[in-house]
C-alpha cells in the first residue's frame, strides 16, 4: 500500500473461509487495520462464518421433512461455534458479553423460524431468505467487536437498512437508486467520523423491509453494489486463493496467478468452472471504471488479480487460462430426416429446459443431421427420456435415428481476449492436443473469440489441461 493517508474510499469483502476460524479472523483484523492507515473511508463486507449458511438451510430442510429434532442440534452448534469465536477473539469482558447477547438473540430467532417451518411442513422462498440471512447478521457483530479490540472504531451495519431489492426471493435484484440514497444516509455519517462500517454481505430488503438474499456470489455482489453507489475508488475481494489462477492447481501444480483479467475473460472463466467471481457480482464496479482486486486473506502481501473493463494490449498473453468442467456427458440427437426441418433445435432445448437441466455447451454440424450438447451426468437419463417423448413420431418414422449419450466427458476451455487478434491460435491448441494423441470429441467457439471449448473423454482431463496450460507458459 502507498504511504500516507488519503481521503479515498475502499470497500473490502471477506468470504466465509476468510472468517472461518479465530486465526483467519485475526488476519482479517490486521488487514483492515493496515488498510485504515491508508484509506480514510473504509467499508468491510463480511460473509457468514464458513459452513454456517449451509447449516441454517440444511436445518430448514430437515424441519420441512418433519425432522424437528435437528433444530435443537443446529441451535447448539451455532451457540458453540459463535461463542468459541467470541471467547477466542474478544478479550474485553463487557464487549464479549454484549456480542454474545446479540448473537444469541439471532440464534433464538433461527430456532423460532425453523419451529414454524416444522409446524407448517413448508419453507417458502421468503422464509428461506429470512433464515439464510442470519449467518451474516451474526458474523458482522463479532467482526465489528474484533476490530474494536484492535483499536479501530467499528460499527456493525445490517445491509437490510441500505440495500433495497425487489421481492425475487433467493436471488433478489438491487434497486441501485434507492440503495444509493439509503447508503448515503446510513454510511456517510459513519465514514465522516472515521468509523469502519462492517456490513452484512449477501442480504438486502424490499422497500417494505422484507428480508431478501442476492443469490450466488451474494457477498461479492454486496461489495460491488456498495462500491458502485458510494462510489468507492477500489473494491477488494478477499478470499482463500491468491487471485485468479491460470488453471486449477489441483490439475496443474505449476498454475500461477493472473495479474490482470478483463470482465469478458472473467465471465468465460466463471461459466466454465473456474473459481472466480461471478460476472454479475463485478459488473457494477467494473463498468464504472472502479478498480477491482482479488486478494488472498492468508497471503495479504501478494498482489492478487486486478479485473478491468478493457485491456489495451493483449499480445503479450494470448491465452490467459485453462479450465476443466468434469462430470458431464454429451447427448446427441441425430438423423438424416432432420435435414432442413425447422424447429428441431427449438424442440430439443425446450425439452431439456423442462427437465430443469443446464446446458454448458452446444454444437451442431452444418449438415443439420445432428445436434449434440453437454449435460451433467446426473441429468443424462432424465434428458434422454424427455427427448424420446418429444420426438416419439420422428423416432418411429426414422427421421431421427437415435438419441444417445457418450460416457463421461470433460469440457476443457482456453480463455483469453488476445485470441481475437491472433491468427493460428486454434491451430496451436488442436496441434498441441494432437501431439499428445488426445482426441477432441466436439468443439464450440463463440463469435466473441474469447474462448475455445473442447469436449474430451474424462480420462484425458489432466493431460489435456496440462498440455494446454503449457501454451500459456510458452508465450
Q: What is the mean pLDDT of each run of 10 residues along the chain (475 residues)?
A: 61 94 96 96 97 96 91 97 97 97 98 96 96 97 98 98 97 96 97 97 97 89 96 93 89 92 84 73 85 92 88 70 94 84 87 93 75 95 96 91 95 89 87 95 80 95 96 73
d(CA 257, CA 376): 29
pLDDT, residue 466, reads 96
Helix, strand, coil shares of the chain as percentages rounded to 5? 45, 25, 30
| CA 75, chain centre distance (Å) | 27
pLDDT, residue 473, reads 67
pLDDT, residue 4, reads 44
Q: Structural domain boundaries of the chain?
A: 6-240, 321-474
d(CA 333, CA 327): 20
d(CA 226, CA 212): 16
End-to-end alpha-carbon separation of the chain, Å?
30
- At the second CATH level, the architecture of 6-240 is 3-Layer(aba) Sandwich (3.40)
Q: Under the phi-then-psi rule, with left for phi > 0, alpha for psi from -120 to 50, and beta for the rest, what region is 297?
A: alpha
Identify the H or E element spanning 132.
helix 125-132
Provide the 8-state DSSP code for 44: E
Strands (E), 249-351: 260-262, 291-296, 305-308, 321-334
d(CA 55, CA 136): 13
Buried b (16+ CB within 10 A) or exposed e, 33-61: eebbeebebbbbbbbbbbebbebbeebbe
Identify the H or E element spanning 473.
helix 461-474
Rg (CA), the chain: 25
d(CA 117, CA 105): 19
| SS3 assignment, position 305 | strand
pLDDT, residue 280, reads 78
pLDDT, residue 315, reads 47
| SS3 assignment, position 455 | strand
pLDDT, residue 28, reads 97
Strands (E), 392-450: 402-415, 440-445
Note the CATH number of domain 321-474: 3.30.2130.10
pLDDT, residue 135, reads 97
Amino acid at each position: 500500500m502507498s504511504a500516507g493517508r488519503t481521503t479515498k474510499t475502499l470497500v473490502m469483502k471477506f468470504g466465509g473461509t476468510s472468517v472461518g476460524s479465530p486465526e483467519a479472523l485475526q488476519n482479517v483484523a490486521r488487514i483492515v487495520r493496515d488498510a485504515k492507515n491508508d484509506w480514510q473511508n473504509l467499508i468491510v463486507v463480511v460473509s457468514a462464518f464458513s459452513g454456517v449458511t449451509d447449516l441454517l438451510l440444511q436445518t430448514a430442510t430437515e424441519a420441512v421433512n418433519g425432522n424437528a429434532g435437528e433444530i435443537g442440534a443446529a441451535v447448539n452448534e451455532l451457540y458453540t461455534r459463535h461463542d468459541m469465536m467470541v471467547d477466542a477473539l474478544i478479550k474485553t469482558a463487557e464487549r464479549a458479553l454484549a456480542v454474545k447477547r446479540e448473537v444469541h438473540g439471532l440464534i433464538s430467532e433461527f430456532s423460532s423460524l425453523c419451529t414454524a417451518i416444522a409446524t407448517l411442513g413448508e419453507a417458502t422462498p421468503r422464509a428461506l431468505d429470512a433464515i439464510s440471512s442470519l449467518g451474516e447478521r451474526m458474523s458482522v457483530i463479532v467482526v465489528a467487536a474484533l476490530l474494536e479490540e484492535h483499536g479501530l472504531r467499528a460499527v456493525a451495519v445490517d445491509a437490510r437498512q441500505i440495500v433495497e431489492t425487489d421481492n425475487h426471493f433467493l436471488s433478489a435484484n438491487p434497486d441501485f437508486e434507492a440503495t444509493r440514497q439509503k447508503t448515503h444516509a446510513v454510511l456517510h455519517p459513519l465514514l465522516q467520523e472515521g468509523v469502519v462500517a462492517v456490513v452484512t454481505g449477501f442480504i438486502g430488503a424490499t422497500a417494505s423491509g422484507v428480508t431478501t438474499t442476492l443469490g450466488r456470489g451474494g457477498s461479492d455482489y454486496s461489495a460491488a453494489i456498495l462500491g458502485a453507489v458510494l462510489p468507492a475508488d477500489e473494491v477488494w475481494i478477499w478470499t482463500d486463493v491468491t487471485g485468479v489462477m491460470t488453471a486449477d492447481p489441483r490439475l496443474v501444480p505449476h498454475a500461477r496467478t493472473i495479474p490482470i483479467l478483463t470482465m469478458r475473460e472473467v465471465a468465460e472463466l466463471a461459466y466454465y468452472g473456474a473459481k472466480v467471481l461471478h460476472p454479475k457480482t463485478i459488473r457494477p464496479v467494473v463498468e464504472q471504471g472502479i478498480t477491482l482486486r482479488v486478494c488472498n486473506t492468508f497471503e495479504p502481501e501478494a498482489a492478487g488479480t486486478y479485473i478491468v473493463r478493457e485491456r489495451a494490449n493483449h499480445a503479450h498473453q494470448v491465452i490467459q487460462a485453462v479450465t476443466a468442467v468434469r462430470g458431464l456427458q454429451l447427448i446427441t440427437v441425430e438423423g438424416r430426416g432432420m435435414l432442413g426441418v425447422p424447429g428441431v433445435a427449438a424442440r430439443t432445448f425446450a425439452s431439456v429446459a423442462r427437465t430443469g437441466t443446464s446446458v454448458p455447451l452446444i454444437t451442431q454440424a452444418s449438415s443439420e443431421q445432428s445436434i449434440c450438447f453437454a449435460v451433467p451426468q446426473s441429468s443424462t437419463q432424465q434428458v434422454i427420456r424427455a427427448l424420446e417423448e418429444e420426438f416419439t413420431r420422428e423416432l418411429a418414422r426414422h427421421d431421427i435415428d437415435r438419441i444417445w449419450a457418450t460416457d463421461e466427458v470433460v469440457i476443457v476451455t482456453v480463455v483469453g481476449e488476445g485470441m481475437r487478434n491472433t491468427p493460428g491460435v486454434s491451430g496451436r491448441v488442436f496441434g498441441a492436443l494432437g501431439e499428445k494423441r488426445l482426441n477432441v470429441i466436439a468443439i464450440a467457439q463463440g463469435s466473441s473469440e474469447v474462448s475455445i471449448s473442447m469436449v474430451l473423454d474424462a480420462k484425458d482431463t489432466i493431460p489435456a489441461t496440462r498440455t494446454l496450460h503449457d501454451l500459456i507458459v510458452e508465450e
